Structure 1
Amino acid sequence: MNYSFDFSPVFAAWPMLLDGILGTLRMSSLSMVFGLALGLVFMLMRMSKLPMLRSIAIGYIELIRNTPILVQVFFVFFGMPALGIRLSGEQAAILAMTLNCAAYAAEIVRGGVQSIRPGQIEAGRALGMHSVDIYRFIVFRPAIRAVYPALCSQFILMMLNSSLMSSVSAEELTYFAQTLDSQTFRSFEIYFTLGVIYLAMSQFFSIALGLIGRVYFSYPAK
């Protein structure tokens, strides 16, 4: 093997890779926040007594969960212009990731809500608690506590899936790595470093989100 390893082009391009890291974090964070909010809406629709709302929610969730996220972002970026809606690469990426995250978050949170026993709600009413407080402290908070690890895993998965957004020229980490590869042809060094960066980000957020959950969901409720 005559290949000579040289990581100097990668080290020299750290400002570019840092921009990519920030872009990845920005898109992932926005998608998770918007996705969780939209997921709560679809969760409520999914649990509604109205057949039409339930059907819409089920149809949406099944559609998103049974199609690849790459196809979804391609539809948003290349398909929606046919409807007169043109988005930049980053906007299309955030929208596609939000829609994808919402479907999974809806099912995750629904599982948490359904784990709450009806007797707990009845006990809250017997104590004279307001309906808002019942849903806040007896339903929502314990439900989120129960599914918090799954939501954290979904966030990390969303961050890793953001690497696919380079296919629509969204300026995230993989996009800049591909740009650097086309300039230096140091594929091994670049993608080895890329893998290490994604691994480090995943481990960091796994630990950070775990600590946040330990503080926020500790007993007694704060």
Structure 2
Amino acid sequence: MDEVEVVVAHSERVTVRVGEVFLKIDSDQTHLDVEVEAMELAPVPTPEVLWRKPSVLAIGRVPGRPVAKLGEPSTASPAAWAAAGAAVRAVHEAPLPSWPGETVEKIRSDLDQECAWLIDSGVLPEDLVSRNRRIAEAALRPWTPVFVHGDLQPSHVFVDGNEITGIIDWSEAAHGDALYDLATLTMGHPTHLPDVLAGYGAEVDLDLIRGWWSVRSLSAARWLLEHGFDPDAPGCEFDVLRSAR
């Protein structure tokens, strides 16, 4: 009999694997609704939806392995990273989903709250937070909305050799800035940014990518700490903030 593997578990979501089946249990049914509809819309390989019940989604396993994981060196080839960039471009060129995304004003307001918490709680030095808040401001400008994955960590992009076999975890998909997806994919793996952009096939302002690296790292820190994750692990969010220039 297959053992039950806990893939991720916190107060908002639990994902377990039994053999070739993943069960996603979410406290917010909206996340599962978005995930299913986004996978139907996405013009890239996604997991097969096996069945749904209230608060539970069963999906099939995606073959291959993640292109990378945050905090770990990537063993994927430059061609695999370029394929990931091409897949992201395909998503961004697809029709917009029916639901909106966050506004620039909302992102800025939330970011300021998180920066204040990081300083007041003593989690990070004020000068580090302030420097990254300045860098982040570059990304917080008007953009033309596209269909974004919304949480395109490299661990969510699966490859087999140089081929994309699937992109998982679409619960944050919405309207958004194309550069946010590119930044999320390459955060912690900046040496692979040129490969991703080669596959993406468009000119990109690197200051905006760096801005989104700072936005994501600052904004995620409190949630990660409160849910049992370590943003101060080598190569993770706090290292990204320390290396920002």
Structure with greater strand percent: 2
Structure with greater helix percent: 1
Instruction: Using structure 1 for the length normalisation, give the TM-score.
Output: 0.23
Q: Which protein, 1 or 2, shows the higher relative CO under an 8 Å CA cutoff with sep ≥ 6?
A: 1
